[in-house]
A and B are shown apart, each in its own frame.
Chain A
């Protein structure tokens, strides 16, 4: 019995020793950290004063300078390089992909589906779709948008696309004119766009009819003619894109257009990125808008040129609006 007890004791001892040894294997190598941790604490109090100076410079801290001008007291601003990478990298690359993809998609759609024709013969009877003032407003904004789009894209892609065609001096003359036009017409476009946003605000609340309209792909795919009021779902989405991205585009444009308020470079860089992204989104959307309004739909363009559309067209594309209009006319006649 005594022998067995001694054996048990020995086993216990061995077990505890093994546990201790295992613990030591894990813990002992870490004791180095304890040493460096206490050391580092002491070192942190005394940093190299020269490093501190350059650290401040790198962080863009403001110093003192006798030279007057914009942000002259900032020795190094690091955000400019970030702006350059973002503009020349993803924005320019994916921007060109986006515009190219949309154009290609529209072309493919046109070849596959063709024009959305009128399903019934024209009646010859017309209704007024857009008043003269509405048409003036639309075409002013449209022409300004196209000019601003072309001049703006020239500043982003002209270096790669137009310099090989026009040469350096030629492109420089064009770009100087483009820059001037863009700067002058930008605020005019803003006034026109804001007028549109206010004028058509009450027609653009998205409702159940529009959701059904989207489910039927706006009648662009298949032969269904989903119902629509004065504005269909697509027009409403275009409106709200303009009301969000368009407004952001205009406001960021103002920051870029008026450097006389001494905005800091970081503000300008941010405004420029917003301006680029929103401009590319609106350009991509406008391609679709222009396609549907011209060659994509039979009889759509005449509404915006002459103001009148055929009753057949109105019944096919804006049935609820036509009903409303005819009802109002009947009521007027009854009053007379």
Chain B
């Protein structure tokens, strides 16, 4: 089985937020919940870089380790998914996650959390593949349809890569070799020097 991975090429991401929008639309994610977001470092400066981030499906996932009800499971593809029927909305996974991936719909007063929602790598949940129940709880299961995550599939600059870790790594390695250590567009070379 393949080990699924996300990779965002910071040299290519143009902060168009299409991945964010595609994800929200594909899974009908409610208001206030964002499974993916684009963060721009040094916005407006010469060093500006944008990176798209969601659940990174860690091998040793902190969310999984701290969950009091043990609702997370790792699939054969190396994806970290969770069971919303077990989740109690305690928020621990959000405290532990380095990427801010777990999200909660607000339920009740004083910011009480509902059941956690996060990126599923478009692989749904523990319910039967492509069942109505799975759709309602986790959104589409594109992997069961033989497709890859929509955010990466429709990335216009192919900055965001998703799929078999070996293939993703080969693709990225070929880019790095071609760049020869130089950023694709760093400092615009000699554009304004003449």
Contact = CB atoms under 8 A, between A and B. Distances in A.
A88 B34 CA distance: 28
A49 interface: yes
Interface of A: 49-50, 52-54, 56-57, 61, 63-67, 69-78, 80-81, 83-84, 87-88, 154-156, 158-159, 163, 168-169, 171-172, 175-176, 179, 183, 257-261, 265, 268-269, 272
A314 B11 CA distance: 80
B69 A80 contact: no
A65 B100 contact: no
Contacts of A158: 68-69
Contacts of B43: 63-64
A147 to B, nearest CB: 17
Nearest to A52: B47
B188 interface: no
Secondary structure call for the A interface? helix
Given A81-B62, A257-B110, A176 B88 contact: yes
Given A84-B62, A168-B69, A272-B95, A63 B41 contact: yes
Given A172-B85, A179-B88, A66 B38 contact: yes
Interface string B65-85: 111111100000000000101
B98 to A, nearest CB: 5
A67 B70 contact: no
Given A81-B62, A175-B88, A258-B111, A67 B34 contact: yes
Nearest to A56: B41
Nearest to A53: B49
Nearest to B93: A80
B95 A64 contact: no
